[in-house]
Chains A and B, each alone.
With several copies, the nearest count.
Chain A
């Protein structure tokens, strides 16, 4: 039985996993880089170990330091979260070799699914359709150009070792192939320590649909339905929902059968996700298996009522699956928005900074998985995701309206985020009609500017602050209920006077 868990991650996912452990009565160990000494995830554990300097390669990706921290604190299990070393077979093996439990699949499954070309071969063997591709394209320009021609344009260049949009490029014309290939390789090397990339035919206007699976150590595998993650920018998901508005019961049956077949083919254990492209003609193609917890796992938790982190822990300690497929029933609809330090008006450039005001939405059916706190300076070394906002509603429309209300209530000042953009996406007719596909943003928001609905009211707020800063004894909050409000936290404000 697991007694003490080290979480080899940071931010919201570290906090979410640590909370799951605490609820199960387990003691907890956080790790942090020197840039994260004041990070909220560090304070969320019973113990915390510094694992090195800010760059991930010297801290969150440092296997020796992580195993050392587990040994030093007496942890008997390690949860990798997502990203960083979550899909690194060598790390999983090192954990096992150190006599600890790795909360995830076997190194063999990680390795076999982590190599995208091998994953494709296994999918084909399992009878699951895949998109045309070249799994090991030559790097010599002329040969590469020829190989790309065989796959067919438009094509996608993807990292062999990674996921999440890093090391990924779309190429629509042969003339851009060489530069894109090199850039993708560089990004892949930097993100995953493995610069290999492969080519794949690009399916036009597809939906990104994935199936969540859970498998135990005794050969039992179940699925928890699908998630649609079509709303993407920079090839990375920004809004996810479940169920998919495009998945009929027949598609769901075929897709979840395919996911289970692949899971069984690799003797999969623990939580995993099988990703598919769903084409407008309802055909679907296997993309890859993510051998870890997904960023967007909360929406599956919201509709199924199954705690995926606690399921991972129970499976990792050898417990046979307590869920039969027929026990798993999705109820209602859930949507997640990723809240990142990025500027949607500037091509989603990262926008790190110090969070000077933070007010998270709340209320029935609203869940915030946050990795930040007021006063926290978002380090520039890591992924720009600050938090995830997930909502549940009885229907897709109820969830959509709840999400809009929650986004309007969400206050983050100090870091630019996509909150106003997300509201516009959710309010777009194409979204409310369920007409989502991976080009949604490029198609409906080729250019986007910050909305100015409340500009005058905002100016009035700023002007009154200016006035109060100059004449602090003036009107406003007064009487016995005078308390610290945002209006009273301000000092000098340089203004022109009448």
Chain B
């Protein structure tokens, strides 16, 4: 079975075949023999202690102190280069302490946009590039969710 996984570094294509009590996994042109025993994932005879959990559609994998997050990758999506997103989103749930800009303001790279507080810590979100503020969707005192859009910018302003 062919499986495509995507993490922040790109797409990984794998081919997984069950073969008796083992799996044959092809990845990056290399073929590996894989077995599962208790918490051990045995790849070509080398054991790794692995723990996994769901995170929505994604899978989290803990291994040797690292945590990896893989999403299923459908062929239709294409990897894009990182560009500054026009939406300013909350990196975590919390509370808006101060909104530092208004609609129409022009901001330079690094200029403060909003001050928020979460887990007793005050954090300032700044502009990633020069931009014009197009929308402001929150006000001081608002409770916000992680990922919520706080304002919309137009870059290159």
Question: A interface vs B, CB < 8 Å?
Answer: 37-40, 42-48, 56, 166, 183, 186-187, 190-191, 234, 341, 343, 346-347, 349-352, 356-357, 359, 373, 376, 380-384, 407-414, 416, 419-420, 423, 450-467, 470-471, 474-478, 483, 485-487, 490-491, 493-498
Contact = CB atoms under 8 A, between A and B. Distances in A.
B139 interface: no
A419 B67 CA distance: 9
Contacts of A478: 21
A45 B32 CA distance: 19
A14 to B, nearest CB: 13
A497 B1 contact: yes
Interface string B34-74: 11111111110111111111110101111111111010111
A48 B39 CA distance: 13
Contact of A462 (B15, B20, B70): B70
A459 B120 contact: no
B39 A40 contact: yes
B46 A46 contact: yes
Given A42-B40, A476-B36, A486-B52, 20 more contacts: A45-B47, A48-B47, A183-B122, A186-B97, A356-B54, A373-B38, A373-B39, A380-B92, A454-B66, A455-B12, A457-B50, A457-B63, A458-B63, A458-B66, A459-B61, A459-B68, A463-B25, A464-B41, A477-B38, A498-B15
A467 B51 contact: no
Contacts, number: 249
A476 B16 CA distance: 13
Interface string B4-33: 110101001011101111110101100010
B1 A470 contact: yes
A234 B118 CA distance: 14
B67 A416 contact: yes
A411 B59 CA distance: 14
Interface in B110-124: 115, 117-123
Contact of A496 (B19, B70, B73, B94): B73
Contact of B39 (A43, A190, A454, A465): A43
Contacts of B104: none
Contact of B27 (A346, A407, A456): A456
Contacts of B4: 495-496
B62 A411 contact: yes
B2 interface: yes
A461 B41 contact: yes
Contact of B65 (A48, A410, A493): A410
A423 B67 CA distance: 13
B118 A457 contact: no
Contact of B52 (A42, A461, A470): A461
Task: Sort A-B residue pairs by CB-CB distance and give the 10 closest, nearest first.
Answer: A43-B40, A356-B53, A474-B18, A458-B68, A350-B119, A413-B53, A458-B61, A498-B2, A475-B18, A408-B65
Interface of B: 1-5, 7, 9, 12, 14-16, 18-23, 25, 27-28, 32, 34-43, 45-55, 57, 59-68, 70, 72-75, 91-94, 97, 115, 117-123, 146
Contacts of B25: 460, 463-464
B68 A454 contact: yes
B106 to A, nearest CB: 19
B3 A356 contact: no
A435 B39 CA distance: 37
Contact of A357 (B43, B62, B70, B91): B62
A305 B142 CA distance: 48
Given A373-B38, A498-B2, A471 B18 contact: yes
A151 to B, nearest CB: 23
A124 to B, nearest CB: 32
Given A351-B92, A467-B1, A459 B45 contact: no
A475 B51 contact: no
Nearest to B74: A496
Most chain B CB inside 10 Å of its own CB: which residue of A38, A343, A350, A477? A350
